[in-house]
Chain A
């Protein structure tokens, strides 16, 4: 149950909270959109993408890892914070190899939709063109690390829902990569299945079904006409309109 006494304000609007809420938990329940990529209400916070950066108590904090404390005043939808989020998004783009015209997820990608929402038209930074290996060993799924933003959602879904521990983030710093947990390091040598929850959480085109891509024509894809702040972080295979994520 929400308790008004625990409530916070986001951009001046009252947002009720439950005990134990983070700022983004409360915002999500109240229908206030705070941009995010690594947060998903089913899987708890990870705090890595930094897109949910808000200002509280004069400090920048991640809304997904910051407890909502009674009376807290949060700034989110301000020009200053949107500028920071734009730069974070641009850094995510130059940190990978995101060639949207050649990507099966284009139009249904939450990173791309976040960029659209923030008005991104250029990279701002010079692209790094990192070399990242593609793993096409699995029968049903493709792991394209060029597009991976290391949000950890597939790791959490496989650990907590599927109970298979298929993935982990290996390496350090800019060498960090999404790794299948198998002796060979290949996806085909894990218990991963296209039926797993972990196969249905990737916000970008990193964990991709090998078949039935491009099913929706341009103009009818998720984010072709509707911005992410209006329909939330969704995937084309979400069960119902509204999806499982905010």
Chain B
């Protein structure tokens, strides 16, 4: 297949742990078959930082700060197909377990009163993104086309997604590829 017919994939990790990215890499040697068909746009895997128009955007993690919201909106603008990857992107996941507490409570526990805190102060550098009051799934900010469930989704789910897009069909996730953990 020539370069012009390659699909472009961009990825990012918002309020996530990069576990989904690690699972993506678990496609191992099967990546060889994709080399001629897929190229990367912005992704931490290749350290490309600029997002241009692309075919697929894989978004790991939920939304915990204002930067996450800007990034996911930018991905939605630039990606033909936007995919929520993993439990955190789909329902907020483990980071959303902070939603039962107030934001001030979380910051105070982490930076003022937590065990072993030295020089207690809540970080306020203007370069730091502002935290949202609650963690949200990405579907709360943008339209999502496909969802890869799991924590993380298995490598086979990524492979099925890419294969389906290359074959111009909807992904078909088998029972084993639809687990939530």
Contact = CB atoms under 8 A, between A and B. Distances in A.
A123 interface: yes
Given A99-B97, A131-B100, A93 B178 contact: no
Interface size class of A (residues with CB under 8 A): 20 to 34
B13 interface: no
Interface stretch (A38-46, A76-84, A101-109): A101-109
B181 A100 contact: yes
Interface size class of B (residues with CB under 8 A): 20 to 34
A63 interface: no
Contact of B180 (A97, A115, A127, A225): A115
Contacts of A116: 175, 178-180
B91 interface: yes
B84 A99 contact: no
Contacts of A103: 181
A126 B140 contact: yes
A69 interface: no
B94 A101 contact: yes
Contacts of B140: 126
Interface stretch (B31-39, B50-58, B68-76, B143-151): B143-151
A121 B90 CA distance: 8
Interface string A211-246: 000000010000011010000000000000000000
Contact of A99 (B87, B144, B149, B178): B87
B84 A97 contact: no
B173 A123 contact: no
A185 interface: no
A119 B100 contact: no
A129 B99 contact: yes
B134 interface: yes
SS class of chain A's interface: helix, strand, loop or mixed?
A: loop
Nearest to B135: A129
A126 B139 contact: yes
B92 interface: yes
A120 B173 CA distance: 11
B90 A122 contact: yes
Given A122-B84, A122-B139, A218-B181, A101 B100 contact: no
B107 interface: no
B137 A121 contact: no
A22 interface: no
Contacts of B112: none
Contacts of A120: 178
A150 to B, nearest CB: 18
Contacts of B97: 97, 99, 102
Contacts of B176: 225
Interface string B79-96: 000001001001111101
B91 A224 contact: no
Contacts of B134: 129
Residue of B91, B144, B149, B175 most packed against chain A (CB within 10 A): B91
Nearest to A218: B181
Contact of B100 (A115, A126, A129, A218): A129
A218 to B, nearest CB: 7
Nearest to B97: A99
A152 interface: no
Given A106-B180, A132-B100, 8 more contacts: A97-B97, A100-B151, A101-B180, A102-B94, A115-B180, A121-B146, A126-B136, A129-B134
Interface of A: 93, 97-103, 106-107, 112, 115-116, 119-123, 126-127, 129, 131-132, 146, 218, 224-225, 227
23 contacts: A97-B99, A97-B100, A99-B87, A100-B180, A101-B93, A101-B181, A102-B94, A102-B97, A106-B180, A107-B179, A115-B180, A116-B175, A121-B146, A122-B84, A122-B139, A122-B144, A123-B137, A126-B137, A127-B92, A127-B96, A127-B137, A129-B100, A132-B100
